[in-house]
Structure formats: C-alpha cells, structure tokens
Amino acid sequence: MANRMLPFGYCIQNGLIQTAEPEANVVRTIFQRYAEGLSYGRLAEELNGQGIPYASGKRWNKHMVARILRDERYIGGPTYPQIVAPECFRLAKAAKPDVSGTAECGEITEIRKLARCSLCHGPMHRERKNYWRCPQCMESPASIKDAHLVQCVNELLHRLCEQPDTAVPSPAAETESGTVQTAQDEFEQELDKPEFDEAAATAKALALAAAKFNTLGSEDYETMRIQYILANAGQHDSLDAGLLRQITAAILVYPSGAVSIKLKNGQSMEHSNA
C-alpha cells in the first residue's frame, strides 16, 4: 500500500469506517507516550523497534507520528468511531515537543553528558525539556524541571567545596584490612622481644609499610585528588562545569525525579530536598 486512504487505526467493514485493532491500540499508545514526554522522533524509533509498520513496507517517521497526534478524527464523530478520549487528545495537544532535542542552557548540556540511570547506570535520554528516561529501565520518563536539576547538582558541589573532607574512600576490603593488621601485629611483636633485633624490626616495618601501600587503591588516590581540587576550588553562583567534570563520574537520575552525584572515587552523594 503506497498511501493510506484512511487514518491509521481505521478500516472499512461492510461499507462503514470501523476501528482496526491492533492499530487502534497503537494510536492510543502514541497519545499516552507523547503525553508522558516522548518526542515525535523517539516515538517513531520505538514503533520501528517493535516491528510495527505504518503501512505495508513503510516505516514510521516523526511526521507520521505528528500527523496522528493532530488528527481530531480520533476523538470520534458522525463518521469515525472514537479511538482516543477527548481528554487524552487535549493533553497531547497541550504538550510542546522538543523537536530539536537541544538543551536550553549550558548547564543542562554538561549534565546531559554525565546523566545516568540510578538503576542500571546506563545513559539517560533527555526526551524533551524537563523529562529524562532510561530506555532500559523506565517505561515512563522521570519528570524533573531543568532549573531544579541544575540547582540540585550545584548544591551538591557547594556542599563538597565547603567540606572537602566529606569526600571519603570506600571502606577497605576485609582481606586487605586483615593483611595490614597481621603485619602490624608482627611488627609490634618484634619490638616487644626482650632482645631487640634491628634488622628483623626493619624488615617487619618494611612489610607493614608494603601492606599499607598495597591497600591504597585507585579509590584512595581519587579521594585525595578530589579533596585537593575541592580545597582549592572557588565558590560559583552558577554551575561550575569544570569542577563538575574533574570530580564527577556520573549524575544519577531516579524514576522519582531525585538526583545524586557519583564521584570518581566511587562515592555517591544524594541531594536532600529538606
């Protein structure tokens, strides 16, 4: 079929226009998903990914999706049966798509680079202004206003700058702690012997130093680096993009709209709305 003679979701039966299932369900899904925050392009990608054809041999594109969302025949009338409730149509019509997909400000551009899903840590997609979604974990996008998202990240950076020592390494593994403790005990035992053996004591001291050095992992190094950067960072009213890139591994966005940052030493810091 080169061109559709009827809107998607309808067919002719016994000379009358009727709803065509499952096409009608696809139409309802388009309206619902658009109202949730998906753009025309993302909807087209989803439909093509699910193997749903627009017509025989025709893939979806954003213009087809836009045409459906503007077509008032779906709310029903003398000729066309209702597929979409008037309220659902109104919500979709009131929504304003981010057709370009571009960010509104530099702060959001920086956050977009680091935004990750709190569940799977995969990249978050900015569906449009104020909506973020993980294609792997989230059926519906998380709603969080751009200004609030920037504010949360900025407040977390300010908190770190005011108290650099709040950046701490992850706890050492039990085996590593045990190795250090064993070396410490052997060194102390050597010092407590009635006859002091300087060579033996030196060897035990070197073994203890080596055990402590071996427990110093990348997280410890990153923590010291982060603390140094924070101690020398100035306070900024706007988001300090340079500081954000230097110390942050990811900005975690939760389905609820909550935000936390994951530092490069593996430490996570949650934003409190209190």
Q: Tens digit of pLDDT for each residue in 212-233? A: 766 656 677 888 899 999 999 8
Containing 46, the helix (H) or strand (E) segment is helix 40-49
Write down the pTM of the prediction.
Answer: 0.52
When divided into structural domains, the chain yields a total of 3
234 and 145 fall within a common domain: yes
Does 2 fall in a domain? no
58 and 148 fall within a common domain: no
227 and 155 fall within a common domain: yes
Tell me the per-residue pLDDT of 153-172, one tens digit each, with 9 for 90 and over: 999 999 999 999 999 876 54
Does 49 fall in a domain? yes
State the pLDDT confidence band at 29, using cuts at 50, 70 and 90: very high
* Cβ-based neighbour number of residue 242 at 10 Å: 12
- Burial track 113-141 (b if 16+ CB lie within 10 A, e otherwise): ebbbbbeeeeebbbbbebbbbbbeebeeb
Closest CA to 133 of 239, 46, 69, 65: 46
Q: Decide: helix, strand or coil at residue 83.
A: coil
Tell me the per-residue pLDDT of 104-153, one tens digit each, with 9 for 90 and over: 567 888 898 899 999 999 888 887 778 888 888 887 888 888 888 999 99
Strand 125-128: give its sheet, edge to edge. 125-128, 131-133, 142-143
59 and 113 fall within a common domain: no
DSSP state of 122: P
pLDDT greater than 50 at residue 27: yes
Domain span at residue 51?
A: 10-94
